Amino acid sequence: MIEIQKYNQLGQADHGWLKARHHFSFADYYNPDRMGFGTLRVINDDIIQAGTGFGTHPHRNMEIITYVRKGAISHKDNQGNQGRTEAGDVQVMSAGSGIFHSEYNLENEDTSLYQIWIEPNQLGVKPRWDAHSFPQSTTKDELTLLVSGKQDAPLFIYQDADIYAGKLTAGSLINHPLKHQAYLLVSAGEIKIDDLKASKGDGAQITGQSSVSIKATSEAEVLLLDVPLN
């Protein structure tokens, strides 16, 4: 079963320096029917104004993944980690027993990104942060694994979840196997998910399927999160 979440129906927040769309309940946006998707708790589609950002604040017992779509974000935390993650790259933070961090857009352009929270399968772990640069080439026959609970993945998280991405040329088709249930984000362009249309900014919940067909009807970019129920 596939359920499309249209961009214009997502939760909204406009703080001036930050414009956000919420796929699930977050902060001042509350929808009892949109409290998460299995272990996936948050997907925020954020646009952060140049020269602004999130001041130092705490997190605990959450896997926080940031996928940068345009511009860059600069991270700093009280564990001594700091780094700059730019478009097409990903950073992960295991908040574990507790961490304080800040994230700023220090660029001269707006930064757009997905911020994703996944509930961990281990509590109280030592906090950690990591980032990885990924190839920007077009996907040919399969999506690229970015983040996983497997120790040999490019970026590791404490959960049996997998996050994939791909840039697709118009007319290309990918049949992607699913381990659990999936949430698919359309970062750019237009696609068909099985027989359903989805456009930039849309999301799609995919349940009860062992695979999903992704066909690009224009040049497109997608992010797929395969996450456990609990």
- State the CATH number of the domain containing residue 195: 2.60.120.10
Sheet holding 128-132, edge to edge: 11-14, 18-22, 40-48, 111-118, 63-70, 90-94, 128-132
Q: What is the pLDDT of residue 151?
A: 87
Question: Are residues 108 and 15 both part of a single domain?
Answer: yes
Both 35 and 80 in one domain: the answer is: yes
Q: Where a domain ends, among 86, 121, 156?
A: 121
Domain boundary among 121, 136, 160: 121
| Tens digit of each residue's pLDDT (9 = 90 or more) over 207-224 | 999 999 999 999 999 999
Please check whether residue 54 lies inside any domain of the structure. yes
pLDDT of residue 125: 98
Which of 114, 212, 223, 218 has its CA nearest to residue 168?
Answer: 218
Q: Are residues 153 and 115 part of one domain? A: no
Residues 30 and 84 in one domain: yes
Residue 129 domain flag: no
Q: Is the pTM of this model over 0.85?
A: yes
Query: Mean pLDDT across the stretch 134-152?
Result: 90
Q: Is residue 36 part of a domain?
A: yes
The position carrying tokens 């029917």 is 33
Model pLDDT, residue 139: 84
**Do both 17 and 116 map to the same domain?**
yes
In contact, 164 and 226? CB cutoff 8 Å: yes
Q: What is the CA radius of gyration of the chain?
A: 17
Indicate whether 117 and 14 sit together in one domain.
yes
Per-residue pLDDT for 140 more than 90? no
pLDDT in tens, 180-193: 999 999 999 999 99
Domain shared by 15 and 83, yes or no: yes
114 and 14 both lie in a single domain: yes
Q: Is residue 4 part of a domain?
A: no
Domain with 30 in it: 10-121
Instruction: Give the residue-averaged pLDDT of 98-126.
Output: 98
Q: Is the pLDDT of residue 67 over 90?
A: yes
Report the alpha-carbon distance of residue 179 to residue 217 in Å, rounded: 26
Question: What is the pLDDT confidence band of residue 141, given thresholds at 50, 70 and 90?
Answer: confident
- With tokens 């507790």, the residue in question is 98
Q: Which residue has the higher pLDDT, 152 or 75?
A: 75
Asked if pLDDT for residue 136 goes beyond 90, the answer is: no
For residue 192, is it within any domain? yes
Q: Are residues 166 and 204 in the same domain?
A: yes
Largest CA distance in the chain: 47
Is residue 108 located within the same domain as residue 199? no
Asked if 114 and 148 sit in the same domain, the reply is no
Residue 137: is its pLDDT beyond 90? no
187 phi-psi bin (left φ>0, alpha ψ -120 to 50, beta other): alpha
What is the token pair recorded at 16?
Answer: 């001036």
pLDDT band at 154 (very low <50, low <70, confident <90, very high): very high
pLDDT of residue 135: 80
Domain count, the chain: 2
In a domain, 73, yes or no: yes
Asked if the structure places residue 158 within a domain, the reply is yes
